[in-house]
Amino acid sequence: MKSSRPNMRDVAQLAGVSQRTVSNVVNNFPHISPATRKAVEDAIRQLGYRPNIAAQRLRQGQTHTLALAIPNLAWPYFGELAHLIQEEARRSGYSIMVVETAGTREHEVSVLRDFRTNLIDGLILSPIELDLEGLAELALDAPLVLLGERIQDAGIPHYSMDNVAAASEMVHHLYDQGARSFLILGSTHTRATSSAGALRQRGIEKALSELGLDSWAWRSVEVSPWTAGGAQEALSQWLESNTLPDAVFTMNDLLGIGALRALAEANVRVPEDVLVSTWDDTVLSRFSTPTLTTITPDTHAIAREAVQGLIALIEGRGGAGGKQDTTSSEEQSDVESSASSLVRPQTVADVTVSHTLSIRRSTLRA
């Protein structure tokens, strides 16, 4: 039974040309006479023929599909960032395939290994545990850019924020609000000195040194799993045998929500008894009770620069890095982050986007 959907053979018969000529017209081959091109285009319109775009792209060596590998879509930051990346890709004519890695080295290596054979043009990876050794094992030569965690000496374009500066600025803000002892909830366990967690810890230590506070002024508590429930349990256990600090600084908004619950169950008032700040500025921090002071990365800029940087690699235009000026503000209402122009050197480098401090009720005392 003949298919009711017109195909290339039908177009060729109606136009009185070969199927190869139809293919050349569909693929915009330049050396086609105006009369022949018109005959084929008229036949296409008359029949309602629709070329197989996927097949065309495969023949051309591109699928116009990008992969995005992130630790966990359930984490609000990654969910919001994935949405922005998909929007940016769509505007550039690409679709996005999203893969979760659970933030483990095993899954991150697996994604990269599969990437070598899957029908995608490039990969945006937000690694947690992947290291240079893991990359070397794969000998990957396909277009790849990194978000967040930086793999030292990998020579791969990397898009993130200035974690050292942001953490330092938050400690200074907490100090200005009267904090002299600090608990860091969700400290890093990775040995990588270039990881986001390690850089944030460096920023905390830098601020304490600038403020003349000794290293004993801050303590850290690991959280496992990195969920609101994990943070609640970790902080509750810590409070049972330790003195309440002046400020609790959590490593993302999800942990911040867990911290608020643990403090409420211990009858500790925020911000009257303890200040609470966090990281990422997702919807959680804007609608919590009290609202959470947080570090706001310019996720729109991260999405835009990562997608455009990857497309540049795919198209053979290379990649450029740059650094945005970091800004901060201390208003009692929410502070919206704003992107500034990137200053791009000629060589591949990290791209550091701007951030702000969004100062809210959880660190403001009357």
DSSP 87-156: HHHHHTT-EEEEEE-TT-HHHHHHHHHHHTTSS-SEEEE--SS--HHHHHHHT--S-EEEESS--TT---
246 and 156 within one domain: no
230 and 192 within one domain: yes
User: Helix (H, G, I), strand (E, B), or coil: what is residue 209?
Assistant: helix
Above 50 in pLDDT, residue 282? yes
d(CA 84, CA 107): 23
**Other CB atoms within 10 A of residue 330 CB:** 17
CATH number at residue 170: 3.40.50.2300
Above 90 in pLDDT, residue 216? no
Q: Work out the pLDDT band at 134, boundaries 50, 70, 90.
A: confident
Q: What are the CB-based long-range contacts (under 8 Å, 24+) for 209-213? A: 210/168, 210/172, 211/171, 211/172, 211/175, 213/175, 213/180
pLDDT, average across residues 254-260 = 97
> In this predicted structure, what is the pLDDT of residue 329?
37
pLDDT in tens, 61-98: 567 889 999 999 989 999 999 999 999 999 998 999 99
Question: Tokens 């550039």 appear where?
Answer: 92
pLDDT, average across residues 333-350 = 40
> In this predicted structure, what is the pLDDT of residue 185?
95
d(CA 132, CA 154): 6
Segment among 96-110, 172-186, 191-205 with least mean pLDDT: 191-205
Q: Which two three-digit tokens encode residue 231? A: 């943070």
198 and 126 within one domain: no
Supply the mean pLDDT for the chain: 84
Nearest to 159 by CA among 81, 230, 72: 81
Please indicate whether residue 26 or residue 258 has the higher confidence score (pLDDT).
258
147 and 72 within one domain: yes
122 and 16 within one domain: no
pLDDT, average across residues 305-331 = 64
pLDDT, average across residues 352-361 = 96
d(CA 215, CA 238): 19
pLDDT, average across residues 327-343 = 35
d(CA 18, CA 22): 7
Preceding amide of 271 cis, omega within 30: yes
Are 70 and 82 in contact, with CB atoms under 8 Å apart? yes
Q: Which two three-digit tokens encode residue 69? A: 């590998």
pLDDT, average across residues 285-298 = 97
pLDDT, average across residues 301-308 = 96
Nearest to 238 by CA among 167, 186, 202: 186
Nearest to 248 by CA among 229, 237, 230, 263: 263
Segment among 118-132, 224-238, 247-261, 310-324 with least mean pLDDT: 310-324
d(CA 172, CA 293): 13
284 and 256 within one domain: yes
181 and 279 within one domain: yes
- Please report whether residue 47 resides in a domain: yes
> In this predicted structure, what is the pLDDT of residue 32?
86
Percent of the chain with pLDDT over 90: 52
d(CA 217, CA 277): 16
97 and 174 within one domain: no
Above 90 in pLDDT, residue 233? yes
Q: Which two three-digit tokens encode residue 30? A: 């330049």
Number of independent structural domains in the chain? 3
> In this predicted structure, what is the pLDDT of residue 344?
37
- Please report whether residue 340 resides in a domain: no
223 and 125 within one domain: no
Kindly give, in sequence order, each residue whose CB lies less than 8 Å from that of residue 106, ignoring residues fewer than 6 positions away. Answer: none
Q: Work out the pLDDT band at 324, boundaries 50, 70, 90.
A: very low
The secondary structure of residue 6, as a DSSP letter, is: -
- Please report whether residue 208 resides in a domain: yes
- Please report whether residue 305 resides in a domain: yes
Q: Categorise residue 16: left if φ over 0, alpha if ψ from -120 to 50, beta otherwise.
A: left
Q: Work out the pLDDT band at 335, boundaries 50, 70, 90.
A: very low
Segment among 34-48, 75-89, 246-260, 350-364 with least mean pLDDT: 34-48
CA–CA–CA angle 104, 105, 109 (5° rounding)? 120
Radius of gyration for the alpha carbons in the chain, expressed in angstroms and rounded: 26
- Please report whether residue 343 resides in a domain: no
Kindly give, in sequence order, each residue whose CB lies less than 8 Å from that of residue 53, ignoring residues fewer than 6 positions away. Answer: none
Q: Which two three-digit tokens encode residue 130? A: 């992947």
> In this predicted structure, what is the pLDDT of residue 348?
53
Question: Tokens 């890095």 appear where?
Answer: 321
186 and 287 within one domain: yes
- Domain span including residue 27: 8-51
Above 80 in pLDDT, residue 115? no
- Please report whether residue 332 resides in a domain: no
pTM of the model: 0.76
Q: Which two three-digit tokens encode residue 305? A: 């620069």
User: Could you please report the per-residue DSSP string of 164-185?
Assistant: HHHHHHHHHHHHHTT--SEEEE
